[in-house]
Structure 1
Amino acid sequence: MIQKRSFITGLCLVAMLLYRGVAIGQITVIDSSYKLPDHPRLLISAAKEKQIIAGVNADTGLRQIHQAILSGAGKMLNQPVLERVMIGKRLLDVSREALKRIYYLAYAYRITHDKKYIRRAEQEMLAVSAFKDWNPNHFLDVGEMTLGLAIGYDWLYHDLAVETRNTVSLAILEKGIMPSMDRRYNNWLNITNNWNQVCNTGITYGAIATFESHPALSATLVNRAIKSVVLPMKQYAPDGAYPEGYAYWEYGTSFNVMLISALESVFKQDFELSTQPGFLKTAGYMVNMTGPSGKPFNYSDSRAVAEFNPALFWFASKLKDPSLLWVSKKQVNEAKLLNNRLLPSAMLWANGISFSKANAPKAAFWIGNGTTPVVLMRSSWTDPLVTFVGFKGGSPATSHAHMDIGSFVMEAQGVRWAMDLGMQEYESLESKGIDLWNSRQDAQRWKIFRYNNLAHNTLSIDSAFQLVGGKGNFQSSSDKSNFMNAVVDMTTLYAGKLKKSHRGVALINKKTVLIRDEVETGDQGVTLRWSMVTPAVAKVLNAHTIELNSEGKKCYLFIETDGKIEVKQWPAAPVTSYDAPNPGTTIIGFTTQLKANSRKNISVFLTPEKPLLKRPATADLAAWPKN
């Protein structure tokens, strides 16, 4: 063992020398002389344990979360230990399960002191430490595995056998830290998406947990993370909208908060990370992204299912704003949602905030500019039957984006009438040879049915795809209660087809949703297609009206425009062998022919009330209320 340790120590020194040549603008906020607190040092302490117990005793919602963790830990006691089983190119499912098991078991042991939990955690830690590697070719797998091992090592340190501590510490070094310093695997240091947040967090936890074994190396890694993670954090500016959407907010932001929380717990500061523009505003984005039905606005690579977000507890505590837990307050009653692998973090971050104080947010309108602009409007926070609409801009070139610029979702009467099909599982495409991660204009990605504009609630011109190099930005918006609205300029998405494409979405009188398009053609005529994906049964009532039926309720789509239109329904069935099925859905809308050098204004109303046969002319977008 001593000989092996000497080899590893030498390897660390060589790696440090090599790393100095590839560091990304090295900064020093701590050095090897820094005196870290004793174990456990990451997130938890004796005082925090007492605070958790007090919260469990005082608050029903926190008690439900606590019981969910203990129940989950109990189910883990007799499960077989994890094995190194790859799915395609990923070990990620195993890494995530390892993180969940170790975190839940470590939490259960620290709060109950029942040794059955530490015995089981130790078995799991030794099992994954024995893996030949943690799959550095897909470094998310390493990041999550390192995080899990680091929490277990740190939280259980004084009660683990010395041999177990040595084995786990060595695994963190060899299979987590060292690959993170290899140019073949660490391109995530310089990118702006969730990979940066997740990988930096996992490696930083490993560095801090094992700081005594290699203080100079650990200090280097902490400094590196603080410098690197600013890159994705800049993407929250200016208002907190997360570029990659709902599902990746849960991923990237949760790990980002785990990183900040670790720095706060160990170094008593976060080195100004939380002050990055837009970051503290992003909790508002996530809360507003959830519709009255509990379903999210699932644009980009997101599923149309709710996520329980422990990170919201950190934001609620940091901002002293319990309303940020309004959605979480309802979710704790849905046991299936209390399955998040970071669930113990909610207990750590609650900091005395009670669910009983989590009143509804005050604002019914939220807008975020930035990489992927989005606006979210609703007529009420407390009535589950209200009207809700989400509307987005952005670019297909953004990480995990679809060709969905100008797309929207709409709910009324508890039904999502206008929906997003969401992501297709990656492995189902990668296993069939699809180049999913190339986003060039001619890439295979855009031939996937769910990913292009023909399967989204937006415009298509001559059945062509939106342009990857284009972007939709908000031109104006208003939170006026009887005419909430936002207007997006989508012209660059249709360059070469249209000279102008502006779309406005409004929530009128807290009930009706209006989608207005104003377009201008160039030197050639085009065919414009307006489409909307719906789970409802559609019935064409006349040349301008479609009746939607779902769950015994009705919604009406009324089209107001000059000239001839052709109302249509398109199937949402797979068009290739690799496309996923979309049962129970259809695409409704219409087509219209536009002459060269012409203008066209189209207003589409969605309302749970049957529309009048004749409506007054709708105001131009330029005349819409503005803040």
Structure 2
Amino acid sequence: MKLFHHLMNALAVLLLLTTSVAAQTGPITTNTKLPAHPRILLLGGEEATIRKTISADKTWEKMHQAILAESDNLLDKPPVERIQIGRRLLDKSREALRRIFFLSYAYRLSQQPKYLARAEKEMVAIAGFSDWNPSHFLDVAEMTMAMAIGYDWLHQNLSSTAKASIKEAILKKGLEPSMNPKHNSWLKVTHNWNQVCNAGMAYGALAIYEDQPELARNIINRAIETIVLPMKDYSPGGAYPEGYGYWGYGTSFNVMFNSAIEKAFGQDFGLNSQPGFLQTAGYLQNMTGPSGSSFNYSDAGTGGGLQPAMFWFANKLKDPSVLWVERSRLQNEEASRHVRDRLLPAIMIWSNGQSILNIPTPTEKVWAGAGSMPVALMRTSWTDPNAIYVGFKGGSASVNHAHMDIGSFVMEANGVRWAMDFGMQGYESLESKGIQLFGRTQDAQRWEVFRYTNRVHNTLTVNNELQRVAGKAPITGFSKAPAFMSATTDMSTVYEGSLAKANRGIAIVDQAYVVVRDELETMPQASTIRWTMLTPAQVKITGKNRAELTQNGKKMILQVQEPAQITMKTWSTDPPKDYDAPNPGTTLVGFEAKMPAQTKGALTVLLIPENAEKKATNKVHPLAHWPKSPLPGK
């Protein structure tokens, strides 16, 4: 075994030697200057800028105090231990990053020795781990970022023995494993792994740059050159393919990388101007409804949260209105609620003196973005808590972390989410039962998970069949007209073999109610179309084509305008298999419609908030007559 490790180390050294020439001609060269420690994100003396922000705004004072209070809570906790869960050490790496980032911030801003001592204790314990689990390299990436921040920010005050062990661990357990082809396939992928792993390795390289200059240059250059792969997925307009939850992961680490590179080298090497990247702030801003919950398609949690990276985007765009949702969270939620966010101290850096009270209301109420998972997001107001909100998606189940939810939507009115999405199920709960969760083929075991298929999303199921993984549904147009905010998608390839054509449109009409219209064409055989909507409301069928939904003392009517011959029904959301997560308090409501062979037909459903029934009398026009603007960038 020792011989094997020696051979692998020799291979890593050989790789470094063969790539050293490229390192001299990359963005970072031997002539590139680097600041002294601290050099990652916050240079020496820049604490004064944060102190000025804190003194000028009570909201930032509360956030600062919450970080210090949480750092105090960490003082008596034992360091994290190397306890692996399944194939992951990731929860330990994330907690290490949270602790070390918080404690390092607390020390730099307060100069109280207790925070330095506790951070050093944490890092020395982690340096002693046998490894940081390179077989699941996200674990290494986050652990390396944690250790790099602590080593860099506390560099002048760490004991010599601690400094030596931490530096050695960053090199041997972080950077060197990233040179092994067995562990670095993430360099070639276009999803969050690339963003997180490149960021973590770059932080490690920045931390020990003066001790390993050739290796550090090589790793930073490699990161600058390969992180553009996932950044291309924001093109053309900023829609992030992996959804809200993984935006908070992949994009935040991309911002951590860009911010650190720009701070250390005084330039961004073209990264910030990658098409669509800065525009993704508009996507994230519009992904949250008036209730505060996100449009949680794909593998995302059901809630929403403060996103520190949005402050970085606001600075780059010179547009503080993109912070409207963050403003609400900062003003209406206790600062202590946010201390589980391991990147929270970065918000104090990226806040850049922004007064929370001076964040203006956004002017646009409709946002649409193309790409591999296109979305349209619309609302009747940014300031009215009772506003109508609709999030609508096209896309493909072949995208990383995707569900079979093409054509699905969420809808809110009167402060209540009526049409919901289950979101993700915890990976370990499935992997521990032997489920191969990340296959993307039509017959992948992923599609045996109850929550992940079209049968429990707010879309169509044809002949009880799954959507086609290879299919792709573009957003074919959208409208910002206040009387008819709308978007349409062509889902035909998603139902290939089941339907000849399938188009869906969703509109907010007259600021009062929502229309969902499907226009379908059958194959040479008859089809049974099931229309479903998942809801947390209590459902009462009040007629063949009508249901009444009640929740939190509020009411909404679901009314099928066409076809006339349907029977409204509900379906259970009880998990069918022992590995499926429970779904208490939820119901599938909808109907089935039989369509003869080779015929065209339409399904038109109205979602009518209480007190709007008298307004829901307009004839719904065919989708061809809906106003359509092309998506930005197309």
Per the TM superposition, whether the score is higher than 0.5 is yes
CA 1:392–1:621 in 2, change beyond 3 Å: closer, same or farther? same
Aligned to 2:453: 452
The question of whether the paired residues in 2 share the 8 Å contact of 1:245 and 1:298 is answered with yes
Aligned with 1:157: secondary structure? coil
The question of whether the paired residues in 1 share the 8 Å contact of 2:19 and 2:218 is answered with no
CA 1:125–1:580 in 2, change beyond 3 Å: closer, same or farther? same
RMSD: 1.9
Aligned to 1:5: none
Aligned to 1:155: 153
Which shifted more, 362-371 or 29-38? 29-38
User: Which amino acid in the other structure matches residue 171 of structure 2?
Assistant: L
The question of whether the paired residues in 2 share the 8 Å contact of 1:365 and 1:377 is answered with yes
CA 1:133–1:531 in 2, change beyond 3 Å: closer, same or farther? same
Cα distance in 2 between the residues matched to 1:223 and 1:97: 28
Aligned to 2:88: 90
Any residues of structure 2 matched to 1:566-577 within 5 Å, and which?
566-577=567-578
User: Which amino acid in the other structure matches residue 251 of structure 1?
Assistant: Y
> Any idea what the Cα deviations from partners look like across 1:121-174, whole Å, max 9, x if unmatched?
000000011000000011000000000000000000000011111110100000
Aligned to 1:326: 324
TM-superposed CA distance for 1:563, in Å, is 4.5
TM-superposed CA distance for 1:338, in Å, is 4.1
Aligned to 1:289: 287
The question of whether the paired residues in 2 share the 8 Å contact of 1:322 and 1:355 is answered with no
Aligned to 1:217: 215
Cα distance in 1 between the residues matched to 2:26 and 2:615: 69
User: Which amino acid in the other structure matches residue 70 of structure 1?
Assistant: L
The question of whether the paired residues in 2 share the 8 Å contact of 1:292 and 1:385 is answered with yes
Aligned to 2:51: 53
Cα distance in 2 between the residues matched to 1:11 and 1:209: 24
TM-superposed CA distance for 1:383, in Å, is 0.6
Pair 1:622 & 2:619 matched: no
CA 1:611–1:542 in 2, change beyond 3 Å: closer, same or farther? farther
CA 1:425–1:22 in 2, change beyond 3 Å: closer, same or farther? farther
Cα distance in 2 between the residues matched to 1:387 and 1:338: 31
Pair 1:374 & 2:371 matched: no
User: Which amino acid in the other structure matches residue 358 of structure 1?
Assistant: I
> Any idea what the Cα deviations from partners look like across 1:256-304, whole Å, max 9, x if unmatched?
0010011111100010101000000011111110000000000000011
The question of whether the paired residues in 2 share the 8 Å contact of 1:33 and 1:215 is answered with no
User: Which amino acid in the other structure matches residue 14 of structure 2?
Assistant: L
Aligned to 1:3: none
Unaligned runs of 5+ in 1: 1-7
TM-superposed CA distance for 1:52, in Å, is 0.2
The question of whether the paired residues in 2 share the 8 Å contact of 1:69 and 1:108 is answered with yes
User: Which amino acid in the other structure matches residue 608 of structure 2?
Assistant: T
Aligned with 2:131: secondary structure? coil
The question of whether the paired residues in 1 share the 8 Å contact of 2:33 and 2:265 is answered with no
Unaligned runs of 5+ in 2: 630-634
How many positions carry a matched residue from both structures?
Answer: 620
Aligned to 2:12: 15
Aligned to 1:4: none
Cα distance in 2 between the residues matched to 1:431 and 1:379: 44
Pair 1:541 & 2:542 matched: yes
Aligned with 1:63: secondary structure? helix
Aligned with 2:210: secondary structure? helix
Cα distance in 1 between the residues matched to 2:81 and 2:149: 20
Which shifted more, 483-492 or 337-346? 337-346
Any residues of structure 2 matched to 1:33-432 within 5 Å, and which?
33-332=31-330, 333-335=332-334, 336-432=337-433
4+ residue stretches of structure 1 with deviation over 4 A?
8-14, 19-27, 612-616
Aligned to 1:495: 496
The question of whether the paired residues in 1 share the 8 Å contact of 2:501 and 2:520 is answered with yes
Cα distance in 2 between the residues matched to 1:21 and 1:536: 62
Cα distance in 2 between the residues matched to 1:517 and 1:259: 43
TM-superposed CA distance for 1:509, in Å, is 1.2
TM-superposed CA distance for 1:21, in Å, is 6.1
Pair 1:603 & 2:604 matched: yes
Percent of aligned pairs sharing the same letter:
50
TM-superposed CA distance for 1:441, in Å, is 0.5
Which shifted more, 9-18 or 56-65? 9-18
Aligned to 2:593: 592
Cα distance in 2 between the residues matched to 1:396 and 1:10: 41
User: Which amino acid in the other structure matches residue 34 of structure 1?
Assistant: T
The question of whether the paired residues in 2 share the 8 Å contact of 1:65 and 1:343 is answered with no
Cα distance in 1 between the residues matched to 2:437 and 2:562: 38
The question of whether the paired residues in 1 share the 8 Å contact of 2:608 and 2:616 is answered with no
CA 1:207–1:563 in 2, change beyond 3 Å: closer, same or farther? same
